[in-house]
Amino acid sequence: MKQEFTVTVYTENQIGLLNRIAIMFSRRKINIESLNTSPSEVEGIHRFTIVINELEEVVKKLVRQIEKQVEVLKAYYNTAEEIIWQELALYKVPTDEIAEKVKVERLLREYGARAVVIRKDYTVFETTGQREETNKLIAVLEPYGLIEFVRSARVAIIKASSGFHSKLKEFEKKEPSEDVIENEYLGKGDEVFTM
Amino acid sequence: MSTIEKAPAKEKTDKKPAITNVSGSVAVLEAFLAEGVNTIFGYPGGAIMPIYDALYDYQEKLHHILVRHEQGAIHAAQGYARSSGDVGVVFATSGPGATNLVTGLADAMIDSTPVVCITGQVFAHLLGTDAFQETDVINITTPVTKWNYQVTDATEIPAVLAKAFYIARSGRPGPVLIDITKNAQLQKFDYEGYTKCDHVRSYRPAPIVRKEYITEAAKLINEAERPFVIFGQGVILGKAEKEFLKFIEKAGIPTAWTIMGLSAIPSDHPLNVGMLGMHGNYGPNVLTNECDVLIAIGMRFDDRVTGRLDKYAKQAKVIHLDIDPAEVDKNVKTTVPVWGDCKETLPLLTAQVEQKVYPQWLQKFRDMMKQEEETCITPELNPTTEQLTMGEVIKTLNELTGGDAIIVTDVGQHQMVACRYAKFTQSKSNITSGGLGTMGFALPAAIGAKVGAPERTTVAIIGDGGFQMTLQELGTIMQSDIDVKILILNNQFLGMVRQWQQLFHDKRYSFVNIESPDFVQLAKAYKIPGQSISKRDDLKKALTEMLNTKGAYLLEVMTGKENNVFPMVPQGCSVAEIRLK
């Protein structure tokens, strides 16, 4: 059965890499539900967080193919239960409506919303949370003339480990090698053969 | 880039002072020399002119072969790589020059051939402006390259090329494309010498060998009653032919090959039981579904090898040796994965397997070969028909070359017949487009193969259809005086498609009836001697003349129009359902 997987990819920060990774999905006719790229805790190494709905068997093979790419350091996948994840959402609503009809205080408290901008014509709220939480606030605000809504891609951190160095060790331990070998070039930014 | 200049810390002592005023173009050629390149296949054009201008002064060190189409350049580079075991190098200009490489890149990607392509590109300030002959070659070639990179600053060139060669030839080899903007080719910079690349942080060429898997694999093999070895090009790419022979000879296991693995072991080796796959031999296909341990070495379970996957070797425990971890479990579920370079893993495995023989099991292969001989092989090799068969042409060629020639094949019926019947005594002798099935591959690939192994006889066996896809390379053969024997097997049809139309589409021969020019006259126009024959009595004499002629020769052999290649595993059937007729 298809289910939601979060794929995390550690890469060198290089032009064209987004395309190289994106086509791994499109070639197999897999839709990317959400994609985020950001720096990681290691200098010069970027991190992609990609959400897809697929069979685990397919995801497993896909992740190996992604990891094969020259500029990819590590790729792995997790189910929603194995990760801590958040999305950020922004909501633009007419200020007069919202100020008159809604108890803004209730909004802020119940939904963990924050007013980012308050203007005469509109107010922008922000929430951070999982999909259902950010969705709830849409439902609340819609009757009051929600002008605009946007949600960010997912960012996720795995529950089980502490950081990239030890995470890498952990994965190396599983496969393909039993011996734990740390990437000897990882911490040596100035000796890195890269471009 | 500042990181690179610091990289070779250990070599600081013998670091030469920077040479000022070196152009990016010269840096490219210097990189080639440092990497041991001596031949380039290419075609000039506007955006690569500065490199060609620099090449003018390097003609004595770098032999440039002017092709007639960029597709010819990359196929030639592939042929060169396959016959020499080294990296093939290509020059092409921007735009159409670069897009003409795409088929060859895809072919090299799927067949793991090490090739480095340098394409020219418009000036960096023109990128994205739809400039003359501008095309987004990096994005076009991303899915068909192991790695690609665009250079817009000459100072990057030495390090980028070092990385390109390292990536192309290490691990599971593949094509690399470097796109260099014209300004970077012209730019003068302080050249600090060339340092070969030996690692890339984010890239592991081969996974670390897991010793316990070797032990598990050896245990399975030692306990097996009907073990079966199947191998592919990995044995050749890993330069592990000797290690491979030692393994099968000690373990005494019957061994079959994919067409990409062909020639890695001698054809007459007693454990060589033949070819796998759709048009492979009867025994190896049927017995795949009867063995108890299947040992796959350097092969990727292509659908043409496995037939219907859910009925493929289900009874067997599968041991898969591969350098590419992504291949393990990709198509066939593995019991024991043996990650790593087979040159390293095979000796470890050999040390742990027991010396054994399986006479009864091997006899089964031989019995089935007898059946196949009666139904398929004898009628093909010793026909009673009036018209010549492709098989007898190959058989006669074997007799004359003694199996020492490099055989380059195109795609289609002649390819299957040649792979089935050609004899080989040494590795790297079978060059064909296996994964992509590129018609038009053989002629340019044979040019490269000959240049890569000049001391060896090189025969390009091509169908009448495929020959017409890249026949302009006759011009290359003429101009560069390349000793390629061209053997056209002409059945006046696009034969493989016709065979399928006959068998699966009620003989509705839809656009497979291809007309050909007078190939002999055509060759003559290129100053290549040749002849066309259609009678059995002329065959041996004509082949002898072809082989004895100094320089290129074109021999056209007219063969039976509606002959079919058998055995055959029909699409959607299991390997056990292979048809003998």
Q: What CATH number does residue A105 fall under?
A: 3.30.70.1150
**Residue B426 falls in the annotated catalytic set:** no
Higher pLDDT among residues B225 and A171, named by residue: B225
Catalytic residue selected from B496, B499, B546, B568? B496
**CATH 3.40.50.1220 domain span(s) along chain B:** 211-363
Question: Which residue, among A19, A48, A70, would best test binding to B if mutated, counting the most B CBs under 10 Å from its CB?
Answer: A70
Same structural domain for residues A162 and A147? no
Do A195 and B156 make contact, defined as CB atoms within 8 angstroms?
yes
Same structural domain for residues A147 and A161? no
Instruction: State the pLDDT at residue A165.
Output: 60
Do B202 and A177 make contact, defined as CB atoms within 8 angstroms?
no
Q: In this predicted structure, which of A143-147, B269-273, B468-472 has the lowest mean pLDDT?
A: A143-147
Same structural domain for residues A161 and A71? yes
| Domain over B2-191 is classified CATH 3.40.50.970 | yes
Instruction: State the pLDDT at residue A103.
Output: 75
Its domain, for residue A116, covers 85-151
**Residue B241 falls in the annotated catalytic set:** no
Calpha distance B55→B30 (Å, rounded): 10
Looking at the domain covering B211-363, what would its CATH class be? alpha beta
Same structural domain for residues A55 and A92? no
DSSP per-residue codes, A136-183:
HHHHHHGGGT--EEEEPPPEEEETT-S-HHHHHHHHHHHTT-SS----
Nearest to B142 among A19, A181, A189 (CB): A19
Start-to-end C-alpha separation, chain B: 62
**Residue B478 falls in the annotated catalytic set:** no
CA distances (Å), B229 to each of B299, B314, B463, B568, in order? 11, 16, 32, 21
Q: Which amino acid is at B382?
A: N
Any CB–CB contact under 8 A between B344 and chain A? no
Place of tokens 């080639």: B32
In tens, the pLDDT along B570-580 reads 999 999 999 99
In tens, the pLDDT along B35-93 reads 999 999 999 999 999 999 999 999 999 999 999 999 999 999 999 999 999 999 999 99
Same structural domain for residues A118 and A136? yes
Calpha distance B505→B439 (Å, rounded): 22
Nearest to A193 among B143, B197, B208 (CB): B197
Find the chain A residues whose C-beta atoms sit closer than 8 A to any C-beta of B. 11-12, 15-16, 19-20, 23, 27, 60-61, 64-65, 67-68, 70-73, 175-179, 181, 183, 185-186, 189-195
Report the predicted TM-score, pTM, of the whole model to 2 decimal places.
Answer: 0.93
Q: Considering just the CA atoms, what is the radius of gyration of chain A in Å?
A: 20
Q: What CATH number does residue A23 fall under?
A: 3.30.70.260
Q: Is the pLDDT of residue A124 over 90?
A: yes
**How many percent of chain B have pLDDT more than 90?**
94
**Residue B233 falls in the annotated catalytic set:** no
Q: Are B315 and B290 a contacting pair, CB within 8 Å?
A: yes
Instruction: State the pLDDT at residue A109.
Output: 80
Q: Is the pLDDT of residue B12 over 50?
A: no
Same structural domain for residues A138 and A175? no
Same structural domain for residues A127 and A186? no
Instruction: State the pLDDT at residue B379.
Output: 96
User: From the CA of A16, how many Å to the nearest CA of chain B?
Assistant: 8
Same structural domain for residues A20 and A79? yes
Any CB–CB contact under 8 A between B325 and chain A? yes
Same structural domain for residues A113 and A175? no
Do B202 and A12 make contact, defined as CB atoms within 8 angstroms?
yes
Measuring CA to CA, which residue among B141, B118, B142, B140 is closest to residue B27?
B118
User: From the CA of A190, how many Å to the nearest CA of chain B?
Assistant: 5
Instruction: State the pLDDT at residue A167.
Output: 61
| Domain over B388-562 is classified CATH 3.40.640.10 | no
Same structural domain for residues A187 and A103? no
**CATH 3.40.50.970 domain span(s) along chain B:** 2-191, 388-562
Instruction: State the pLDDT at residue B232.
Output: 98
Residue B200: list chain A partners with CB under 8 A: 70, 193-194
Q: Is the pLDDT of residue A195 over 70?
A: no
Same structural domain for residues A123 and A167? no
What ipTM goes with this model?
0.90
State the total domains in chain A.
2
